[in-house]
Structure 1
Amino acid sequence: MPDRERTKLSISAGVLSVTVALLLVGAKLWALAATNSLSIAATLADSALDLLMSLGGLAAIIYASKPADDDHAFGHTSAEDLAALAQSVFIMVSACAIAIAAYLRLTSDAVSPVAREGAGMVVMVFSIVVTLILVAWQRYVSKRTGNKVVEADSLHYVGDLIPNMGALIALWLNAQFGLGSVDSIVALLAALLMAVGAIRIGKQAFDALMDRAASNDFIADVEKIVGEFPGVHGFHDLKTRRAGSRVFLNIHIELDGSQTLDEAHSIGAALRRAIVAARPEADVLIHKDPIGVERHPDDPRNA
């Protein structure tokens, strides 16, 4: 797929994500005012954070699509990790605030009862349906483009379905059986899920900023491609690091030293294309060595 088309699809997913988040924030604000439901408050906070994350993701997609320049020779994809790290902090703070509010409501005798459960249930059903439509489009775009920002955003919205469904169940139980405490319990569970998600997102962003290696699956795929590639007799010094949705890969391949430079270059270029075709997020740098090359003893880095 051409880069321009890939960028357009990725941006379309980002714009749809922002639009859906805006709709959900507005609908849940109305539902919270109508019902006084703490579980809806939890999903509202989650949707508000989704809006921030979607805006950050859209900005990251646009910014990361910029080509490398003199000041950023390796591109701009680290912006995605910086945005994700900031988002994880916001999510954790909100989760703590929701958990405290839920605990205070559970332990207090003077609380405002949940009201107009039917209106709140309609809003939650609307939220679930709209979220499912968004996730379906994000999955399609992610499959076509390989964009990791869109894929991560899709996974986040899938996780949002759980507190939305929990709020729907809490409202129904309160309407049918007067179990108002379920609302606070659902809010506590939603806060826990938000905290777990914040830790996961923050860790991934921190790892990328600290140049952590790519996943084992990525490395295994590359090793399989290189190990089976025609003309390549071996490889060594395979190194990777992540930056946003990109994975930078350096590798030394061993070639027949008697062949011409043109022949060696053709093998390396074809290998690079094969790796990128299998792993579109890869930025590949290949160094070519003759078979049996030994490390130079005077090299201070012994490489």
Structure 2
Amino acid sequence: MTTGIRAIVVGMVANILLSLFKFAGGILGNSVALVADAIHSLSDLVTDIIVLFTHRIGKIPQDKNHPYGHGRAETIGTTLIGLLIITTGIGVIHETWGAVAGAPRQTPGILAASAAMLSILINEGLYHYTRRVGETTQSPSLIANAWHHRTDAISSIAALVGIIGASQGFHIMDPLAGVVVGCMIMKVGFDITHKGVRDLMDTALSDEHTQKIHSVLKNIPEVLHFHDLRTRVIGGEFLIDVHILVDPEITVTEGHRIAETTRRNLINAIVNIHDVLVHVDGEYDADVEGIYPVTRKELIDIAIPLISELDNNISQPEIRVHHIKGKNIVDVFIKIDPSQSMESSRTLVADVKIKLETAPQIDRARVYLDLTP
């Protein structure tokens, strides 16, 4: 049994015992607020079952059909828990409102107060235990369930206040406390549901996380600029997509190294990152068309015959193609006869450059002498 499953089972057993104890204490101790609190504890048992189901699915490793894993199941579970908490709060208010408008009831006794006090202590302990496990396992459904335990503790405090007030002669305080409990339950349910829906809608990370991402990217010297930053949350884990701008003259392998450095720096700097996708740009693609109409093969097929026209003795040159700011740039590395003079070499370089730039597809040619043997 994993630590997450163990925390859920502990909560289920505690909720069953607390529900029975508070029902008995509320009925025998004449406290409407405590009965309302017992209903809340019973609703915890339903959410525990949901958490148990969604938590187990969410921890299933990624597979062919779910390349991002199954973490979204936990987000769905979190949302369902929030909706159930809201429903519970509405039910509690409905049940206790009749007592507010009805005839005065018997004064709650010491049994009701003792049950409320015990509920406060147990539920606060469950809250800290479940939340710690949820944060350790990065489980949003466990964290949501922990807050459900906290609402039980808070509602028990409200019930205890109502019981004490009623015992001092303010009989309306007990059912009013039940209404307050219902409102507090609804508020917590709304907050949990809101967070779950945000994650289901792929809402971006908080401003704090976004600023941390910006800081990491700005501290990578080779990253000249970054844009199109997109973030989302799946099952408590973060997914990040970002475009980085690098020097257009670097090699593909160097660009890959910069991208990998960016990915690892973000993962090391921010907890809960599941994956980072880095797109490398050699230019800011918002300013120019990202897809150039001519391919590398086409440019080489144009350049080779033009070079051969000048000197058939030039061996197969190495050609590199760059697409920068809407221009097609061709770098040519040619080997020459070692006995050839420097003057004739300069003339050859100039002639090759001029010849290549006569082609309409080549906007700029850069010619280099390859002096390797």
Q: TM-score, normalised by structure 1?
A: 0.83
**CA-to-aligned-CA distance 1:240-289 (integer Å, 9 cap, x gap):** 12333233221112234444444443443343233233433323232332
Distance change >3 Å, CA 231–CA 149, structure 1 → 2 = farther
Shift of residue 65 of structure 1? 1.0
* RMSD across aligned positions (CA): 2.6
Secondary structure of 1:186's counterpart equals helix
- Corresponding position of 2:59: 65
Q: In structure 2, give the amino acid aligned to 1:82.
A: I
Larger helix share, 1 or 2:
1
Aligned pairs for 1:22-33 (under 5 A) are: 22-33=16-27
Q: Which has the higher contact order (CA 8 A, sep 6+)?
A: 1
Are 1:132 and 2:137 an aligned pair? no
CA distance in 1, matches of 2:83, 2:135: 29
Secondary structure of 1:240's counterpart equals strand
Distance change >3 Å, CA 199–CA 28, structure 1 → 2 = same
- Corresponding position of 1:214: 205
Query: Where does the alignment leave 5 or more consecutive residues of structure 1 unmatched?
Result: 1-6
Pick the structure with greater CA Rg: 2
CA distance in 2, matches of 1:9, 1:279: 24
Pick one of 34, 44, 48 that aligns with 1:50: 44
- Corresponding position of 1:113: 106
- Corresponding position of 2:350: none
- Corresponding position of 1:88: 82
CA distance in 2, matches of 1:97, 1:121: 22
**CA-to-aligned-CA distance 1:140-188 (integer Å, 9 cap, x gap):** 335544443333333343333221111112222333x232211111111
Pick one of 274, 282, 289 that aligns with 1:297: 289
CA distance in 1, matches of 2:251, 2:270: 29
More displaced stretch, 54-63 vs 268-277: 268-277
- Corresponding position of 2:360: none
- Corresponding position of 1:148: 140
Distance change >3 Å, CA 67–CA 120, structure 1 → 2 = same
Aligned pairs for 1:232-243 (under 5 A) are: 232-243=223-234
More displaced stretch, 123-132 vs 16-25: 16-25
CA distance in 2, matches of 1:140, 1:92: 24
CA distance in 2, matches of 1:130, 1:291: 59
Q: TM-score, normalised by structure 2?
A: 0.69
Shift of residue 98 of structure 1? 1.9
Shift of residue 239 of structure 1? 0.6
- Corresponding position of 1:231: 222
CA distance in 2, matches of 1:146, 1:77: 10
Query: Where does the alignment leave 5 or more consecutive residues of structure 2 unmatched?
Result: 292-373
